[in-house]
Amino acid sequence: MNNAQLYMEARRSAISLTYYGFCLMDGPYNVTLHFSEIMFTGNKSYKSLGRRAFNIYIQGKLVWKDFNIEIEAGGVGKEVMKIFTANVTKGTLEIRFYWAGKGTTAIPDGGVYGPLISAISVYPGFDPPASRASISAGTVAGILAAIVFVVFLILVILWWRGCLGRKDKMAQAKSHSVPVKLLANDTSSSSSSSYFPEVPKRVADLKGLALQIGLFTLRQIKTATNNFDAANKIGEASTSCELYGCCIEGNQLLLVYEYMENNSLARALFGPEEFQLKLDWWTRHKICVGIARGLAYLHEESRLKIVHRDIKATNVLLDKDLNPKISDFGLAKLDEEDKTHISTKIAGTYGYMAPEYAMHGYLTDKADIYSFGIVALEVVNGRSNISSQRTEECFNLLDWAHFLKEGENLIELVDPRLGSHFNKEEALALIKVALMCTNVTPALRPPMSSVVSMLEGKVAVPVLDSAGAIMTEEKIEAMRKHFRGDEHQTVGENISKSMSIEGPRTGTALSTSGSLSSTSGY
């Protein structure tokens, strides 16, 4: 095998792997993909029975369907290279490997399937333009002098405005940046009264994720918010996706996030009438797809596999173009891949928690998938799951959806405010996907990448199987008793705070905000 060292290790994912090349010159490129099957054996043992098949996409185009490394290489442990031509038009090259559900899934061990790649090489298929003539020494000196002068002028302005000359606070900010980025493992252990949050155990997994944030003065923040005017308030310690900076002055610990013009999805759908937005069907469908993509990134594509634990309409923020962004990672947990699940203290919001988590503290990414199904039903229906009027037949919005399903009348679940202005096929597909996500059996809930494919119409939505989809009456009654003691308080607080002009409720310690926000990318 040539370059044997190159094939000793490989990158693998259960669902998909995506690679990007940025800032490329437009034109044709030769893409060489290096493969070697190193997970299976070539003898006649049980481990030799594994089969791997996945699809290869370049620039969004399927270039190889059901690619099998072992077959193409002529055996396991052998190298094989495939060369493709890609045309770059906007400076970006995308290479994606996607498992479409074919091949084995438990040989030699459970989870050993999906795309596998050893190396990628990309070369231009054209001659780069000749470099420009060198700049004279005098010109270089002049440019450097101008740069030094501009930097000096900026430093003087910053010092005059009070942004510099605070060494004690800068030192605090640097020391504080470490615990902020280490909150991903267990943000619930933080304390709002403590300057530094508790550093979790999995420090090694989080190295290299330093947050690139700026330091603001309290005076700057007061000026930007009109002295913390309530009219400018979105929520308390709300976590949107991009962390701009922080302020550390005395006991004032503040984080600055990007501004979300349209507040939360909850207020847009079922908030006070004066704050509700007229969301057409196309926008609602786009919001659901956006949430699904965000969760797919957290569960499957992020370097750190994250379980959000509190997916709900109040924790989905909308920007000026009504694009959704997942917020409030105060309850988030790292999904430890070497464990089948996490046993943890139950935390979340009544009406959105998966049964196995609410009753037993059994936490996996399937809990987020269940919560997504509830939010999707709310988007379709325009009403909150936890505030829907209860009847003897229907305990909440999810019960009503199953009631309509049994009567083969799911289309009645669509928000009547839409009238007939919606795509019936998309609506039925979205409802069916939501019911799949809320299946009482966690193993039957689809992964979020599959949810995205179904919502985008790339994969057909399978026929719903009623078996195991609905909880037994005994389990429902157990959940009712479990939450009955604090149901009025929890639901009332969520609704009143979610529907107010202040926007989504969070209630997490300020020091926990942003620990995962820069990682999500949504």
Could you list the active site residues?
310
Positive/negative CA dihedral, 136, 141, 146, 151: positive
Question: Alpha helix (H) ranges present in 40-166?
Answer: 69-73, 137-160
Stretch (H or E) spanning 479: helix 473-484
Q: Which residues pair with 333 in a beta bridge?
A: 186, 307
CA distances from 206 to 159, 203, 295, 305 (A): 34, 5, 20, 11
Diameter over CA atoms, the chain: 86
Considering only CA atoms, which of 442, 471, 263, 272 is closest in space to residue 357? Answer: 442
- Tell me if 184 sits within 8 A of 334, measured CB to CB: yes
d(CA 257, CA 17): 29
Is residue 410 within 8 Å of 469, Cβ to Cβ? no
| Residue 403 DSSP code | H
Does residue 244 sit in helix, strand or coil?
strand
408 Cβ contact list (under 8 Å, min separation 6): none
Q: How far is CA 217 from the centre of its chain?
A: 31
Strand ranges inside 75-208, DSSP E? 79-88, 93-98, 116-117, 119-124
For residue 28 the two structure tokens come to 């044709």
Q: Is 100 exposed, middle or buried (0-12, 13-18, 19+ CB in 10 A)?
A: middle
CA 366/CA 371 separation, integer angstroms: 9
- Identify the three-state secondary structure at position 448: helix
Rounded Cα distance, 77 and 75, in Å: 7
Rg (CA), the chain: 26
What residue type is 478 in one-letter code?
Answer: A
